[in-house]
Amino acid sequence: MANLETSGSPRDNPLLGISHMMVGVLAFSIMDALAKWLVDDFSVWQILVFRGVIALFILVPLGVWRNGYSVLHTARPGALIMRGSIGIGAMFLFFMSLRDLKLADATALGFSGAIFLTAFSVPFLREHVGIRRWAAVLVGFIGVLVIVRPGSSAFQPAALLTLGAAILYALMMIMTRKLAQTESSVTMVIYHSFVAAIIGLIAAPFFWTDPGWIDIGFLVAAAIVGLTAQFFTTLAFRIAPVAVLAPFDYTALLMATVIGFVIWEEVPGNSVWAGATLLIGSGLYILYREVKLRRAQAN
């Protein structure tokens, strides 16, 4: 796991932020696959209980060992709890949608969060997004439409759950960038896990299904992978602008396609590959523009 930072202000390091984002996206893709497997037999609340409690058991001792009890202190508990609640809401809606949607379809619809993310970063964070980056993000969204296609199975009522999850995810990432001015990455993840544990413990008893040992293994694995994903994406948004990182969420589509094929024998059609080409192209163009602009500023 990356160093548990406690410094307050975020640093602008787009390349490092992108690398952390890619690790986080891979971990999220694995967690989503585990969740899709689990929601057939267990409630989403039950998954959230394991997610939150196990994360706290791992992260709190590690954080205190590395950084002392200051990692548990914050001057903005309300904002951190709100961020955690928004994040858990996004996770709940997305996991619910996995009951009816294919993994790749749900992932593709979730990419609409990048559009909200870029739009929200302008009024809330006052970040500058040039016309070329706006165009690249819109090209990525066209790629999503190419993959999903109006009238396909993705346009079920469950697709609205994924859209709601995307909006909440964008809001959580906006709060991450703002809170990073005073809070460490590990503190934010601890509070996020605390909210998941509390909400899950309240709701799960009403929907509880006794798990077997193999099921417990999957639930624990989902929690650990989810913690890894949360930490690396949180760290990524601390050190790089939202508009730079947003397109790299798109790589999760390729990961979801591979996982879906291996586990559920879901074979992607030509539209998936055509859309994926647009999505990856837009992400690479964002990286190219960022590197070019920074080199020009350094000269």
* pLDDT at res. 281: 76
* Joined tokens for residue 262: 């291996």
* pLDDT at res. 6: 37
Dist. CA 12–CA 172, nearest whole Å: 19
**Is the model more confident about 89 or about 131?**
89
* Closest C-alpha to 225, from 31, 22, 4: 31
**Is the model more confident about 113 or about 25?**
25
Whether residue 2 has pLDDT greater than 50: no
Whether residue 4 has pLDDT greater than 70: no
How sure is the predictor about 221, in pLDDT bands with cuts at 50, 70 and 90? very high
| Cα three-residue angle 219-176-88, rounded to 5 degrees | 35
- Distance of alpha carbon 148 from its chain centroid, rounded? 20
C-beta separation of 54 from 146 below 8 A: no
**Is the model more confident about 107 or about 81?**
81
Kind and range of the H or E run holding 181? none
- Distance of alpha carbon 4 from its chain centroid, rounded? 19
How sure is the predictor about 218, in pLDDT bands with cuts at 50, 70 and 90? very high
Lowest mean pLDDT among 35-39, 52-56, 184-188, 216-220: 184-188
Q: What would the mean pLDDT of 46-55 be, rounded to a whole number?
A: 88
* Joined tokens for residue 139: 């090209």
* pLDDT at res. 167: 87
Residues near 38 by Cβ (< 8 Å), separated by ≥ 6? 47, 215, 218, 219, 222
Count of other CB atoms within 10 angstroms of residue 211: 16
Phi then psi for 247, rounded to 5 degrees? -65, -25
C-beta separation of 224 from 37 below 8 A: no
For residue 247, the 8-state DSSP code is: G
Q: Where are the domains of the chain?
A: 14-128+153-242
Dist. CA 32–CA 158, nearest whole Å: 15
Dist. CA 249–CA 268, nearest whole Å: 19
